Structures are given as structure tokens and as C-alpha cells.
Amino acid sequence: MSRTPRPLLTLLLAAVPLAVVTVGVAPAASGAPRERAKVPVAEGTGGAVATVDADATRVGIGVLRAGGNAVDAAVASAAALGVTEPYSAGVGGGGFLVYYEAATGQVHTIDGRETAPQAMRADSFVEGGAAIPFGEAVSSGLSVGVPGTPETWDVALERWGTLDLAQALRPASRLARSGFRVDQTFRDQTAANAARFDDFTSTAELFLPGGRPHPVGSWFRNRDLADTYDLMGREGVAVLYSGEVGDDVVATVQDPPVADDVTRTVRPGLMTTADLAAYTAPLRQPTAVGYRGLDVYGMAPPSSGGSTVGEALNILEALPATTSRAQVEHHYLEASALAFADRNRYVGDADAVDVPLAELLSDGFAAERACLVRPDQALAKPLAPGVPDGSYGGCDDTGAVGLAQAPGQSTTHLTTADADGNVVAYTLTIEQTGGAGIVVPGRGFLLNNELTDFNFTDTQGGADPNLPGPGKRPRSSMAPTIVLADGEPLLALGSPGGATIITTVLQTLVNRVDLGMSLPEALAAPRASQRNSAAVQAEPGFDRTGLQERGHAFTTTAEIGAATGVELLPDGRLQAVAEPTRRGGGSAMVVTASP
């Protein structure tokens, strides 16, 4: 598609951010700004957007209403999330985008994962023969990977969009300049990171005015980020990868702006301007598996999302069919544990290590793994990985012990669809809530700590696929997913949540397909996450009846994930769905709502 700016579209887009700002700024009768409540489910026609944030969703819907497509809306919404969800996403991070192209019926993916500097080695997180303390590694220049988000936006718009980068960034720029209302989630995330934010002068200046988090109900503006977006719009993403913004990123990584009274050890990073200049966001072949007559597409390595969700679905399909909720969930937990055992052993950056992806997603391997599952007794965990060697017969040997997967941190996910049938599932992140904790001075965005997704030391006796390396992309759990029925989109979804992203996506699919829930019900249902650990991590409302009797042990966590999705309903309408309560609840909208 041509990206030549269209006068009418340009004119309409100029008004989009004004509408967004007016929603929050226009005074109510009391003199306080009005706010529109988040709505987690919307049905209608003309296009749909679901994100965790009402402003970002409205930006995407504004783009669709102005004539943009699903890709345009995804990029514009993602840029808006960089304003309103700066601790989860932004210019300083990366992500993975999965796109269904209606004109060709093909699914495409963009790998926008951050890369390690060329100077990084397998032992870069080791000092004195021991791994650096994780917290020290996070809040440092050493954890910062080359950002992939701007290049992802540029590639997506260039290949499939109708807007240019300046048009796509304009609503977010105006939102950053005009501001948004601080909610409880934003305030709580700031407070939880206040100690380390205070250690970096640029971060404290932006997020801790007067040494304290912005209070709930206050107005937050980020004019530096607005200027960065405007500069990117004028000069393109080259301003980051070979220009003045990139120079500032490298200077910040190599010499973090620490406060005078810092007591923590803040290590400099290894990134250079040459690392930025070498970055690409390549198109990858999506992972693809069949499940109950549907085709499920996901993200290939360096993400483990597509491979692990896909393997678990294959295992589930190899198990005996059942209509019992407890039995379905027992199968789900066991399949997830088995797939995680294999993920931890075999998946890494396929450009740097040999990942047996085809075998991990083969029916033969799934059948071999499935035969381990007992109908009435949970397997002892952690489980050993299987052997995806193409020779499959009886059950694997489970005598060896595998590795449990530790939880990850913050991310965000958005889903868009347009009137022409194009669909986008896009997960983006800066890793921890607050990333490395370091704002690039004068640029208004936080740097990622994605390199802490590498294993710091060899966990596999010389065969660890996820050790650091020059130019290598750390393994991710992001799992943007698109499901087709008879070659047409049925639904798209994804979630934040570190390693729980995989189980959130998997459980939502099981809820929707196997338990017959609607997408809103499937997404809102209480969650449980089994990542090859001795105990299942579960939300308080998850029903453990019948599962504890089968030997599953549980620990309780407040919430898991914060998903969004879009489903194409049988009558041709779109259903946009966001979390009703998790992480403060999400926002779903359609272009033209059903009466």
C-alpha cells in the first residue's frame, strides 16, 4: 500500500488527539477534568481496538475513523502507550507484532526484540565467578539492549500501513504534550520503583517531582517525549539508530546519570553507536499449529511464545477429549509444564543457536510428551525436557529433573482490527516495570532492561540456548497470537506478564475453545499458571476443586496478566475485549458500536 500522505486523512488525524485530550481536559461542572470510564467489551463494525489504556484505545479508534487501517492504529496506539504506560512500553524497548493481511490471507510477523551489544559475552553478567545480583543488573546500563520498537513501527508502516511515521506519531505527541490523568495503577507503579528512580537524576525529574510520585488525579505531561516523537516524525527512526537521539541513548547507557547520593552499584553498559546502526527488525515466519480445526499463529524465536503455546496445544490435542472442567484444566496444567520444560532447554535466538522448532511443534513429539500425562495424577515437577529428534515412540524418560521458569515482569499488549479484515496482535515491553529505571535525559523515555532476560550463567551444562552473546536477542515469552477458522480471522489476543504471558494466552484459548466460554468470559476468568514448577501459581478466584485431588499444589498471587483481544463474530461484527479489572482494567472500543 502507498504511504503517500492523503490530505483528507492528514486533516482528520490532526483532530484525533484533540478529541483525546478534550476527553480528559474539558472541565466538569465542579471545575475538575472529565474522564471517560474504561469499557472492557465493545461490539460493532468498522474496526476495533483493545489496549490497557483508554487514551491509547481512543487514539487507535481515531486513526481507524480517519481512514487508517489496523497497522496504522496499532502503531499509533503503541506510541500512545509509550506516553500513558511508560513503565511497560516505549521508544526505549522492543516487542513482537503479528499481522493478518486480509488481501493475501497471510500471517506476517515482525521481530522487534532488542539485541545485545557486540561487546557482550556469555559471562558479561558474571563477576568474580558469580552472577551479578539480579537487582543490580536490572538498574544499570549493562541490562540495556538496542531498542527495537521504533524500527518495528517503521517496518510495519512501510510494508502494510497507509500512514507515514509522522502521521502515526502525531496523536501520541499531542497526548504527551497535553497530558493525561494519573490513575492508581500509574501511581502505584511509580511508588514501587521510587527508590531506584530516585537514583537517576533524569528519572527522578520526570517521575518524582519534589521527590514523590505524582498523586492520583494529577495531570502528567511529558514534553520531552512529545519532542522526541516530533523529531522522529520529521527525520524518521534514523534519528535513533544513527542520529542525535541514538547518541544520547548510548551516552546514557555508557554513563548512567546517577544521583550524588547513590549507594547501589550502577554498572555502565556496553552499547555503542555502531550497535544502534546495525539494528534490524526482521520479518520471521510465524509459528503455526492446528488445534480443534483452527489454525493458531504465533511468534517464532527469539520469542518462546509461539513455540510453547503451540507445543502445549499439540499436547492437549493428543490427549483424550473431555468435557469435565477439572479434567480440561488438569490437561492444560500438565501440557503447559511439559512445554515449558522443552522451552527452557531448547529455545533461544535461532540466529545464534540451533532451535529445533519444527520438531518442537511436530505432532509426533507432542504425542510422545502427551503419553506422560496421567488422567488422575499430576506429574512431579519440575519435569525433564523431551528429546525432539524426529524419532518418536514410547513415553520419554522422566528420571532427570528439568528447570522451573521464574516469573517475568511488565509488558503491554494491544489488538486492532479494521473494516477490511486486517488484524494486528502486538506485544511490546521494556521488561521490568520501569525497565532499567533510567530515563534518557531530555528525551522523555525509559531504557529497557531486556538483557536480563538472558540466563546469567549456564543452566544446561554447556547447552544453554539463552546465554548472552554479541548481537544476540534474549529469549522472550511474548506471545501475540492470531487464530484463523477456515482461513479467516477468528480471534487475536495477547498479554503482558513475563513468562505468565504464555500461560495466559494458552489458558484463554483453552477457555474459549475447549470450555466454550465467550472471549470476554475466557479473558476475565481466574487464571492459573504452571511453568514447570512444583506449585501452580493461581489467582484467588481460580477453582482448585478436582485439581488438588489430582496432586496439583498451589500458591496464590493477586493477578496474572492483563490481556486484550478481538474476535470476529459470526454475524460479521467485531468484539473488542480488554481486562475488566486486572492492572486497573483495560479499554475496548469499536468504530461504530452496535445499538
Residues noted as catalytic: 411
Based on DSSP, count helices (H) and strands (E) in the chain, helices before strands: 19, 20
Q: Please give the grid coordinates belonging to residue 94.
A: 522492543
Say if strands 294-298 and 287-291 run parallel, antiparallel, or are unpaired.
antiparallel
End-to-end CA distance of the chain: 33
Q: Do 208 and 194 contact (CB within 8 A), yes or no?
A: yes
Q: Please give the grid coordinates belonging to residue 434.
A: 520501569
Q: Do 507 and 536 contact (CB within 8 A), yes or no?
A: no
Q: Do 356 and 322 contact (CB within 8 A), yes or no?
A: no
465: how many CB neighbours lie within 10 A of its CB?
Answer: 23
Question: Nearest CA to 429 among 364, 478, 380?
Answer: 478
Q: Please give the full DSSP string across 273-342, using - where no structure is assigned.
A: HHHHHT----EEPPEEEEETTEEEEEPPTTBSHHHHHHHHHHHHHHSPP---HHHHHHHHHHHHHHHHHH
Say if strands 130-131 and 412-418 run parallel, antiparallel, or are unpaired.
unpaired
Q: Please give the grid coordinates belonging to residue 167.
A: 502521521
Q: Please give the grid coordinates belonging to residue 168.
A: 502515526
Cα angle for residues 206, 212, 214 (degrees, 5° grid): 65
Calculate helix-pair angle for 363-370, 325-346, nearest 10 degrees.
Answer: 120
